[in-house]
Structures are given as C-alpha cells and as structure tokens.
Amino acid sequence: MEADEQLYPIAILIDELKSDDVTLRLNSIHRISTIALALGPERSRDELIPFLHESLDDEDEVLLALAEELGTGLVEYIGGPQFAHLLLGPLENLAVVEETVVREKACDSINQLAGIMSDQQIQTFYLPLLHRLSSGEWFTSRTSAALLFASVYEKIPLSMRADVHSMFVSLCTDETPMVRRAAARDMSALVKRMSPEVIINEMLPLYRRLSADDQDSVRLLTVQNLVAMAEVLSPAETQQLLLSSICGAFQDKSWRVRYMAADNFVQLATAVGEDVVKEDLVPAYINLMRDAEAEVRTAAATQLPGLAKLLDQNTIIERLLPVAKELADDPSQHVRGALAAQVSALAPLLGKDATTEHLLPLFLQLLKDEFPEVRLNIISRLEQVNEVIGIDLLSQSLLPAIMTLAEDKQWRVRQAIIENIPLLAHQLGVEFFDEQLSGLCLSWLGDTVFSIREAATVNLKKLTEVFGVEWARQSIIPKVLQMSSHPNYLYRMTTIFAVTTMTQSLDPDTIINCILPSLLNMVQDPIPNIRFNVAKAFEVLIQELKSSSVGIQTVQEQIVPALQALSDDPDADVRYYAQKALVAAQDM
C-alpha cells in the first residue's frame, strides 16, 4: 500500500497529461512543483524530469506553461542548484518546437538556470547544449541558440571563448534569414559583456556583415548593436570605427532601418562626442526630420530635446528650429503630435528671450491644430515653458485652446483635458484659475457622459490638493453643493460623488460644517439611488472623522441617527448600505 501511495503523484500527472481536456493538462503542468514536493528531490530527479523530457507532444498552450514551470522555481524541489542542469533536457526539447513563444519562454528558463549554475555545470552541460542548438538541422534550434550566449558568456573560461565566438559567427552567417535576424537581435546583449578588444576584433566584423544584409528585417536590428558597441567603446574608438556605420544607418534604403536609427538617434549621438554631432550628425538628423516616411519623421521628432542638449543655442536656433517649424505643418497628425510632445523641453535650453521669439509662435500654431491630440500634447507639457517665460505670454492663446478641447464632441478628449487641469492649475496659479477655469471645471459635473462626471469629481479633489482646503471651502464647495437641490437627480447624484471624493482632501471642520449638512438634507430624497449613495457617503465621512474627538461626536450625534433612519428604508439597497455604514460607526 505504501509503495502505491508513493507512485500516486506521478500516476496522477501521467493520467492528467494524457487527458483530452487541455484545461486539465494545463492545471497538471502548473502543479509540477507541488508534485515534485510530494515525490521528494530524488524521485523528482529520477522519475519526474525524465517523464517531462519524454512528454512534449502537446498543445502549444501546455508547452508554454511547461517551459515556464521548468525555470528556477523548480530547482529547489529537485535538490538545489547543483542539479539545475537536469532541467536543461526537457527545456532543450522545448527550445526547438515550431511555436515562437514556446521557444522564447524555454530560452528564458534556460537563461535563468544559467544564472544559478556553477562554472563546471556550464562547461559540462550548458556548452554542449549550445553546440547542439547552434548546429541543429532545423532553423528553430539555431534561432533559439542565439538567445543563450549572453547569459553565460562571463562564466566561460577565456580558453573556451574562441569556440563560443565560432558558434555565434555561424549563426550570423546562417543561410536562413530568421537565424540571422535572431543573431542580430541578441548580439547587443552579448556585446555588453565583452571587452572593447573583443568587440573590435570579433563583433565589429559580424556587425558590418549583418548591417549589409539583403534583408531589412536583419539590418534594422543591427541598430541596437551599434548602440551597444558605442556604449562600451571610447568616443575616439566610436568615431574611428563606428561613425561611418552610424551615418549609413541614417541613410539606409529601407524606411524601417531609418526609423530604428532615428528612434535611437540621441544614444548614438551621445556616444560620438559633441564636435562630431555638430558636423556630421545634425545634417543627418535634418534629413530624418524631412524623411519621406511619416514614421521616420515621428521618431526623429521624439529625439529633438535630447539632441538639443548636445548642441549650443545658436545651432538649435539656426539649424534645428527651422526644420521643427516645418514639422508643425506636417501632413501627418502623428508627426505634429510627436513634435508637440517634445518642443516644450527646448525652452529651458533657449532661455526667455529666445523662447519668446522662436518657440512661442510654434506653440501658438500647435495650440490651433485641428487634431485634439496635438493640442493636448502642448497643453500637458507647458510647465517648462511657463517656468521660462511666465504665464502672461501664454494665457492669451492657451485659454481658447483649453475651451475648445473642453467642448470637443469626443468624450475621451474632454476626459484628457480634465486630467491635465490640475497640472495646468499648478502652472497657472489660483488667480488665473478662479477667473478663467473654475466655471469650466464645475460645468463638467453636469456632462452627459458618466466617465466625464467621474473624472470631474476626481479633478476637484486634486485641485483641492493643489490650492488648499480654504480655497476649496470658499471657491468650489458652495458651488458644488448648490446642485444638491437640482431637480435632475443626476446632478444630485454627482454632488454626492463630488463631495465624497473631495472629503479625502478636506479637514474635519470643513467636512462637518460644509459637507455634512447637505448630505443630511438628502436623506429624505425621493430617489432610492440618491439615498443609498448618501449612506455610502456617510461611511466615507465616518472614516475621515474618526481621527478627531469632534468628528467622533458628530458621527454619533448626527450621522448615526440619519443612518438608523435609512436602515428602515423600504428599499433593500438603501437598508444594506445604511447598515454597512452603521457597522463602520460602531467600530470607531
């Protein structure tokens, strides 16, 4: 009987993995650690792992789960890191399957194991696996091999690294584009672990070969290799060995390669030194900003502030701003949106006079753009401009743009501007806000879309945090509470939501003297939805008031009697929330 019980866990696993039910097989895989714990380390090594090694004919979903479970999480159940290499067998089988996500997850688990394996295990078990995958008949094994070099490179003795380099060379020169693509993608991780000498002698020739590949899907991945090499090499070495390659990437015949190069422009420019940037890379950047493909221009626009930091003010004004102004008229809204998101960051670099003269007209043009996203990108990033030139110069054109966005027919646009109001309020100051934007914020409480009304209540809470409780008490709370007697019950409901949300930012005195009386008046509201939301609001107030003696007294003398009245309400929902709030009051 005891022997049968010892076989029970593995027998269950076998039966479940043979089931026709995919969910059952998945659950079985996810319980491998539990089964290993029941079996114990020795039987897990002798029975469970060999069984998993042979049981890989399954749905991709199950194989993916198995690839994940075979990572370092299982190691402790098979006896610790000294036995981690035993998991390489089933993972090697998973690393050659057809489904890409399964292979990548298997490689991820193999890399995890490499991190805890000893140098001896790496040499005895990991490197032979790397050999087999690198020379596998199917391209799937060779693409997986490319993922497995970086994690163990530093553990490999110098005497054995030549062999590793040879394996990687074979992947970079493979006849199958998918393999070369995998090698190009993962070269950067390997480069980061190499010395400058090895990079120059071993990796640079491979990079040059891949960067000239006839497949643009391979070439575009080599841009990251350029960045990785430039980060390791000195500026002088980068200029001498990589500058021509960097410039070549910016001029590649494939727009996808140019896009990738543009997206990494600042990293590449930083690596070559300021003098080279001004002479060689600024012209290349201008060409990217004028590229025929909108995607390339968009990527180039995102790099504008980073590149400007490497240049003097005159170069920014004379060479970058003219082309930036061209992008403000770009036919693609995405290009204009990218420019709008970045151009504000130039203000601190230019100073007040140059910003007023050169950037302000550009801001005003973008604030009038027909697409809301462009205007939003400008408005949400005005703090840097405000710090440089002050709000007076901005307000004349800023306010009309805000009003237009606030009334946009798309509710998501209205929601986006609401979410930016606290930031604008902080930038503009309380006086400007009270004069120009206060009424707008309150009008959103009556919007026809619930998400807008909800966002408007959160907005009031954040504004209270920006301007303080006394401001809210004087400027906002009275206007909100006026809606508590509105004939439309949705307005009364919004009042409850607004004061409940704001309560978290108010002091007990304001809650007791300003908020509570209006809520008490709404206890008798004819609409049940109003009454049970009042009960929910009372529960929030109880939590906020329990920290002070005056608050506790107010709860007992005013809120509890109101809740007791609501607990006898004919509506079941009202009774439920009232009783729930009474429990909270009893816990004080």
> Where does 317-467 show beta strands of DSSP type E?
none
Quick check: helix, strand or coil at residue 309?
coil
pLDDT of residue 40: 85
Separation CA 208–CA 203 (nearest Å)? 9
Q: Which amino acid is at 532?
A: F
Q: Within a 10 A sphere around the Cβ of 218, how many other Cβ atoms?
A: 24
Candidates 263, 221, 211, 213; CA nearest to 242 is: 211
pLDDT of residue 588: 62
Dump the DSSP string for 557-578: IIIHHHHHHHTT-SSHHHHHHH
Residue 247 φ/ψ, nearest 5 degrees: -65, -35
Domain residue extents for the chain: 1-117
Dump the DSSP string for 344-378: GGGHHHHHHHHIIIIIHHHHHHHHT-SSHHHHHHH
Query: Which run of H or E residues covers position 383?
Result: helix 383-389
Q: pLDDT tens per residue, the chain (588 residues)?
A: 344 444 455 666 666 666 666 677 777 777 788 888 888 888 888 888 888 777 666 677 888 888 888 877 788 888 888 888 888 888 988 888 888 899 999 999 999 998 888 889 998 999 999 999 999 888 999 999 999 998 888 888 888 888 889 999 999 999 999 999 999 998 999 999 889 999 999 899 999 999 999 999 999 999 999 999 998 988 888 888 988 999 999 999 999 999 999 999 999 998 887 778 888 899 999 999 999 999 999 999 999 999 999 999 999 999 999 999 999 999 999 999 999 999 989 988 988 888 888 888 888 788 778 888 888 788 777 777 777 776 666 666 667 777 777 777 888 778 877 887 887 787 777 887 888 788 888 888 888 888 888 888 998 999 998 899 899 888 889 988 888 888 888 889 989 999 899 998 888 899 998 899 999 999 999 999 999 999 999 999 998 888 888 888 888 989 999 999 999 999 999 999 999 989 888 876
Separation CA 519–CA 494 (nearest Å)? 12
Determine contact, residues 91/100, Cβ cutoff 8 Å: no
pLDDT of residue 338: 94
Determine contact, residues 140/182, Cβ cutoff 8 Å: no
Determine contact, residues 288/296, Cβ cutoff 8 Å: yes
Residue 368 φ/ψ, nearest 5 degrees: -100, 5
Radius of gyration from C-alpha coordinates of the chain: 33
- Sign of CA pseudo-dihedral 553, 555, 556, 557: positive
pLDDT of residue 3: 41
Q: What CATH number should be reported for the domain whose range is 1-117?
A: 1.25.10.10
Q: Within a 10 A sphere around the Cβ of 586, how many other Cβ atoms?
A: 9
pLDDT of residue 351: 86
Q: What is the DSSP letter of 124?
A: I
Q: What is the pTM of this model?
A: 0.71
Q: Which residue has the tokens 């390997």?
A: 190
pLDDT of residue 54: 74
Separation CA 286–CA 300 (nearest Å)? 9
pLDDT of residue 41: 86
pLDDT of residue 12: 65
Separation CA 213–CA 23 (nearest Å)? 44
Q: Find the farthest-apart pair of alpha carbons in the chain and give their distance in angstroms, rounded.
A: 91
